[in-house]
Structure 1
Amino acid sequence: MAILNRQNLTAGFSSKISVQTPNPAVFDYPEKVLQFGTGVLLRGLCDFFIDKANRAGQFKGRVVVVKSTDRPGADAFTEQDGLFTHCIKGIEDGVAIEETVINASISRTITAATAWNEILACAASSDMQVIISNTTEVGIQYHANDPIDGGCPKSFPAKLLAFLYARWQHFNGTSESGMVIIPTELIINNGDVLKKIVLKLAADHQLPAAFVAWLQDANHFCNSLVDRIVPGTPDAATSAAICADLGYEDKNLIISEVYRLWAIQGGAKVREVLSFAKADAGVVIADDIEIYRELKLRLLNGTHTLMCGMSFLLGFRLVKDVMANGYLSKLVMNLMLSELALAIPYKMDLKVADRFGRSVLDRFRNPFINHKLIDITVQYTTKMRMRNIPLLVQYYQEFGKAPELFAMGFAAYLQFMHAVKEENGKYYGDANGELYPINCDYAAHFYEAWKDFDLKKVLADTSLWGADLSALHGFEAAVQKYI
């Protein structure tokens, strides 16, 4: 079977299903976006919007993708000339939707570790206007002593600083050369956090005051929120079945739900640069995006975090299968609507939260999406702290007692983090005789903690939670019931 690439696309494929192919003119569009990350969320949401706008002639720009490492399989992007198939399946306004699109937004991919100079060369392009990233929650962190000259920096903020400094030097600090920078990592005020780190790194490296002024005044660091369920790479059987219908092989194929939201905080200049927003109502550019962030972070992501460990340990592997189970489906609904929705730390009409929550439950039930529970557990502790602990604290402020279903989900999280095996620095838990990976930066911490487990000590560890959870009256007892 022929592989998806430009040459074979031109020759044509014999597909059994309708496939939207790109206009050849798209391949001549200039590179306007630098994207840090190759993940499915960036491709299934951000690159989706850019590709859709290009088809409508509204953005006319392509994406240069920066990979951090040469992981196995990463060469598929180069082999396929950046092309990938996006299968969109779900329910919208009560109507079943199935669309298949060949996305041509990516012009090329560059590996930062081995071709850093190529990335710096992009800084000298007057066409380049936008930087987007998704380096996970642990990607936007301050790392001291990360050099920005003489090679590729280690951290994403340092890479960004090196790029912007090279751009400032090339364009002599003109205001027109500033960039719109949109991190999509699930961090509160992600744009503000990233800007603060970049400015601190600039101070560490004693960069010129004129550059720092340009960094602050000419560049727009936008807080943003992304919301679309895009599961990881489909399993071999699913991919093979889809490719058989497509009539070609695609190693970068992705599947997503229909729902999409990219909320970006910005004003007139940001709207002008991000002209791709005109092509789809799913892109929202507004002065305040807090309500979108809170609803998504707390009700979708927060529910995911509390349900995934429990469901996995009970033998489930996919979100949709959990929702097909009558008991668990009701439990998840009650957790979301009767506990989490009542404790969102942002004043809003409860009807708004309830309506959004019920739409999320429909998305969880999407029969077309194989969203793996194990994928949701990646960086489990960080997610629990950032997504759920603020809800727990707020719930206590509102009601003064332990949220029962939250405590159950938290107990399951602790059980999931109980590693029974360590091998070459990797940790594994045991679910009914099946070993599973614990992909969390705190895996080693809990490996030691479980040798002589003390729940009160774990709850009191402010380095984990940013708060002393043992001080919350009744929470320890509520959690202990389920351990």
Structure 2
Amino acid sequence: MEYLSRDFVSSQNGQHILPQEPSSLPEKVLQFGTGVLLRGLPDLLIDEANRQGIFNGSIVVVKSTSSGDTAEFDQQDNLYTVCIRGVQDAARVEQNVVCSAISRVLTANTQWDEILACAKNPALEIVISNTTEVGIKLVKEDIHQTPPASFPGKLLAFLYARYQAFAGDPNKGLIITPTELIPDNGDKLERILLELAHLNNLEADFIDWMEQHNHCCNTLVDRIVPGKPAADVKADIETQLGYRDDLLIMSEVYALWAIEGDEYVKTRFPLHLAHEGVIIAPDINPYRELKLRILNGGHTFTCGLAYLCGLDTVVEGMNHPLFAHFIEHLLLDEIAPTIPQPLTQAEAQTFAKKVLDRFRNPFIEHKWLSITMQYSSKMQMRNVPTILRYYDSLGMVPEHMAFGFAAYLLFLRVVKTEEGRFYGQRNGVDYLIQDDQAAYFYTMWQNFSTRALVSAVLKNEDLWGTDLSLLNGFEEKVAFHLEAMKDRGVSRTLENFSHIAQAAQS
């Protein structure tokens, strides 16, 4: 079977439609990283904008790691397939897209001079990175090495080369969009660049140019990109496609790239005109809040419940009528109304429905047990503020949140310790509790009755940063549900809860 390439695509009579040849598209983007998230999100979004005639620019990719080479990219003319699989508006989606946004891939260790030469390109406008969370850190190094060791060192050397190439022209600054999954990633990167510039005794005029005429944007990315599928799945897909693709990756349907920027950023990087998943706004914190409270918080409120009901994966949960009903009402009726302005309720509801579609994705195996890791810290960070906001806005018990909290407490019921590890039990089978508070809950379950345990845990301000027992009716509801789960079993208690909730809504 032939490999995916430009010649192969040309021979297919338009079956795989591509935009212009890379040689006809100016290299507008410098990208640090070749990982699947970059290829499955920003690169694919740029490709889509090119197809629509909106951006019309290609990507020069810098491979920074010493492992591997660029042979796979070279062999396929930098083309690769993204297999988009999932659910959108309750409909199953299976789409294959050949991405042609990358013009070339250069290796930092052996082609650093060629990378620095890109700084002389007047068309260059954007920098993208994903060097993992540890990539954005200060390494005190000489940026004149070939190459510098760290990503900020490489980027600073590149910016300095550009400053010199254009004699400090204010119009030749770049828009820098790190996609590493840390809060305020752009602000943090900018601080490191400035400190590193001072450590290298770079001239004040350059530092002023870097600060005033380059834009380090905070960003938020959200898309599950599992990467290369299993060998048998890949072989089946390639048979359908009619070509081999060693760079083929899988991706879910949902895509979000929120970039903190002004009209200048919008004008130079107008991907928001090509895809609804790209948001360029002066403040992206509301979108981070949506993700944290609805997506992450929804997982945290329900992971223990799902697992104790005998459900192993998220999609199993969504195929279970009672559990699916529970999580839908949790997200739509209780969490979404707590999302603060400037987002509207309509936006929160729309996001919640997209989250439910993501949970229904049959192509991604997301295990509930893995979501329970550090359950207590996740509950504190993601869900306690949501509970408090619900009380502030509605002044009554959030029924589904209280039920989910009770399941959390039951999940952390330690039945066995062994070599410093703590275990719970589901249907007679032990499971490992991976939570820094496991020892605390072992003590609590050993020494307190159910109601006393609920009261003591909710009062523990070291855990929650507040006294949750002061919330009117919350302690009573949590204790009621926890006792029922212990006495009747979790599945039976969920069934009774669902019947009562449905009766109340009718």
1:199 alignment counterpart: 194
Residue 84 of structure 1 and its aligned partner are, at CA, apart by: 0.7
Residue 283 of structure 1 is matched in structure 2 by 278
Pairs within 5 Å for 1:265-276 = 265-276=260-271
The verdict on how the C-alpha distance between 1:309 and 1:95 changes in structure 2, with shifts beyond 3 A counting, is: closer
Whole-angstrom distance in 2 between the partners of 1:177 and 1:419? 61
Matches within 5 A, 1:96-111: 96-111=92-107
1:257 aligns with 2:275: no
Give the 3-state SS of the residue equivalent to 2:348 in structure 1. helix
Partner of 2:43 in structure 1? 47
2:315 maps to a residue whose letter is K
Matched with 1:370 is 364
| Unaligned stretches of 5+ residues in structure 1 | 422-430, 458-466
* Structure-2 change in CA distance of 1:319 and 1:420 (3 Å): farther
RMSD: 4.5
Q: Which amino acid aligns with 1:469?
A: L
1:130, CA displacement in angstroms? 0.4
2:30/2:124 contact within 8 Å kept: yes
- Work out the CA distance in 2 between the residues paired with 1:37 and 1:305: 31
Report the Cα offset of residue 128 of structure 1.
1.5
Equivalence for 1:150: 145
For 1:404-419, what aligned pairs fall within 5 Å after superposition? 404=402, 405=404
Cα distance change, pair 150–101 in 1 and its aligned pair in 2 (3 A): same
Q: Give the alignment partner of residue 80 of structure 1, picking from 63, 76, 81.
A: 76
Tell me which residue corresponds to 1:185: 180
* Contact kept? 1:53, 1:279, Cα under 8 Å: yes
Residues 1:175 and 1:312: Cα distance change in structure 2 (over 3 Å): farther
In 1, are the aligned partners of 2:41 and 2:255 still within 8 Å (CA)?
Answer: yes
Deviation string 1:208-259 (CA, Å, 9 cap, x unpaired) is: 2111111111111222233334333222222111111001111222233333
C-alpha distance after superposition, 1:373-432 (max 9, x if no partner): 499879x76x997996154356457659996535856997999xx9989xxxxxxxxx99
Is 1:34 the counterpart of 2:30? The answer is yes
Which residue in 2 is equivalent to 1:8? 8
CA contact (8 A) 2:73 2:79 kept: yes
AA partner of residue 254 (structure 2)? Y
Taking every aligned residue pair, what percent have the same amino acid on both sides?
Answer: 41
Residue aligned with 2:120, SS: coil
The 1:226/1:412 distance shift into structure 2, 3 A limit, reads farther
Deviation at 1:333, TM superposition (A): 4.1
Equivalent residue pairs, number? 446
2:132 equivalent in structure 1: 136
| Pairwise CA distance, 1:41 | 2.6
Judge conservation of contact 2:312–2:369 (CA < 8 Å) in 1: no
Q: 1:68 to 1:408 in 2, by over 3 A?
A: farther
Q: Do residues 213 (structure 1) and 208 (structure 2) align?
A: yes
Residue 80 of structure 2 contacts residue 99 of structure 2 at CA under 8 Å; is this kept in 1?
yes
- What's the CA shift string for 1:169-207, capped at 9, x where partnerless? 222211121001112233333322322232232233332
What is the TM-score when the length of structure 1 is the normalising length? 0.75
- 1:469 is matched with 463
Q: Return closer, same or farther for 1:30/1:339 CA change in 2, 3 Å cut-off.
A: same
Aligned mates of 1:10, 1:50 — CA distance in 2: 21
Tell me if the contact between 2:197 and 2:207 (Cα under 8 Å) persists in the aligned partners. yes
Q: Say if 2:380 and 2:464, in contact at 8 Å, map to a contact too.
A: no
Check whether the contact 2:186–2:216 (CA below 8 A) recurs between aligned residues: yes
Aligned in 2, Cα 1:98/1:117: closer, same or farther, shift over 3 Å?
same
Contact 2:90 2:357 in 1 (8 A): no
Question: Whose helix fraction is larger, Structure 1's or Structure 2's?
Answer: 2
Counterpart selection for 2:241 from 240, 246, 249: 246
Determine the structure 2 residue equivalent to 1:296.
291
Q: Which residue of 2 aligns with 1:461?
A: none
Gaps of 5+ in 2: 421-425, 444-460, 470-474, 486-506
Q: Which amino acid aligns with 1:293?
A: R
1:224 pairs with 2:208: no
Note if contact 1:26-1:55 (Cα within 8 Å) is conserved in structure 2. no
| Aligned mates of 1:54, 1:194 — CA distance in 2 | 28
Retained in 2: the 8 A contact 1:40–1:254?
A: yes
* Alpha-carbon spacing, 1:98–1:470, altered in 2? closer, same or farther (3 Å): closer
CA offset digits 1:131-184 (Å, max 9, x no partner): 1122334433x3242442213334333332222122212222111210011122
Say yes or no: does 1:22 pair with 2:18: yes
Q: Does 1:68 align with 2:64?
A: yes
Tell me if the contact between 1:318 and 1:372 (Cα under 8 Å) persists in the aligned partners: yes
Q: What residue is the counterpart of 1:58 in the other structure? A: 54
Distance 1:340 1:200, change over 3 A: farther
2:304 and 2:407 in contact (8 A); partners too? no
Q: Is 1:116 equivalent to 2:112 in the alignment?
A: yes
